[in-house]
Chain A
């Protein structure tokens, strides 16, 4: 049952082959049985899930069911959910139940989706391995000793292990695409402004974007169709028409112009990963695409730029966590400063504190120009590289991550080494562009992701390009052993 596509599930639910309650129970049973190996969920909401499933079954029976009626999904624990704890992977919010739903949560609920629970993540989405979570690391379903990637590591592992039909995620520097690659699933980070950020706990406001982790581009399209669109509550939400992503999946891609940035195939890329990615690109050529080498000369600077911009924004975004109105508050503060400092030091883990400090430093008097302003200028150059490239190609392809999943603990003592994991994904966030990762041929049993980058608001094209590949290959169908 858990290997069916969302379209198939939706059809069978409508045919009453099984009910949403049965489907939901099936997933809840899998979570109870299998998740102890993965730790991919922070909260499992059995009761509310079954209630939602019952509602979906009734809606289906009465013929007014939404497109995702009865489909069990999971939300990254960064999306506020009224009634279910929203921790953001942090001790700071271990006691936080939001008084509202995020727009993305609201829209998926309105489409009839059933929420099984909230998935584990790097604390406040800061990490590339899901090891910074207050709730412990998530294990990669393909090899429990390895990381699932991050920060949407819980969503990626849960989808790969078939503990939910699909899951939401957020991507600030690669947090959907990199874990999707490392867990062998499909992930899409839409254009900045495509999905509302309302109710999505902010890490870096000019980079954060909600997206989907799913087992296929077709499944991702089903969710994105519901999630995407203008939201008056988010000033940075784009008022741009949303095409039907499912409708566009089967469009012909003959003549597709693919650009391969030479900077994405250089030093630091595991040659086995490179080979796997090149094979996938050959498959595209067989599908009629034309490939050319391009250059994104400033892209190597995306990691340094990101580690100024993202911490700067996060240092300000996370200032609201002060122990006064919600969240963790230290015991017996002796004065106001003690309340602030201990509540925050106890509530935030080491990586979050590192980034807050870096961000505080780069914005402080005397350093703003050299760091923040300089980074914003290079960000402009990086965006200009993409703009130039998209004058001559339709999509850009390359590896999602330089290596396959690395062992748990391998990079925890070296933040900079950890940061370099996102070297191929960060530039798209800086430029606000959509990106995807789809599974290609694994290396020694470990998944590899092909990244597909599009121009702004070209999600339909990306999903179509990914779907045509998945139509002729089977890499996306592989299930990790023990989770089939």
Chain B
């Protein structure tokens, strides 16, 4: 293990953590409003495809990301209506989204490219150093500047989220909806309004998280390219104890696991590469097992909210 290995590992960790940060923040915003969402995998899949297509058509990865956010919101409105208005079970409906959204993505891909098309590739988002015209092998330069704008957005969002939930009035009201909707309602907070706002934010972030994969990470779209990140994000929220900072650390940890497995694959050491690929998934199970669940997290999560009548 040389220093290049370690620098590359750190750089890759930051990159791999980014989509997870978007997805985990999506989950965080949803759960903070009392909506547990296991359908992020699906939202990310459709976001990933639409991001890819729009970036291919327009030649602008940025527009791709925006389109990913838009489609994420759109699809998540189905979830929002079903769980908030129809009081469908959140877990079951999240599962429905997990089946529906990737099917839609796969379908659109087939329709657009036809069956048996060759691999279509798309240009990735330029990094900041690329924009500035800086090229350096210096570790710090690479860490701080050699990143796509999405990476800065992700970290910016973490800071924003931390401030929003801890320092603002609106954030406090938002959290109250997830903890004790009845109490929030007696104080004049619109419970349904907050839940819908949460679903918009969640859909957008999950769509962006998916679009990141096809605009900043990989040059093409393949079915299943989200690869469980939507579920790992769920684990990251639990691991991060429902706080923005905690979620960031959890994402960096899972990003590190992902980066590590890629680096180890390169080294190979005669071990089948799949064993390395298992690392993030096994790490998730191990981490969850160690921290245990207890009764943490917003207390109103998973329960439908109805104004009571006798």
Question: A and B, one complex?
Answer: no
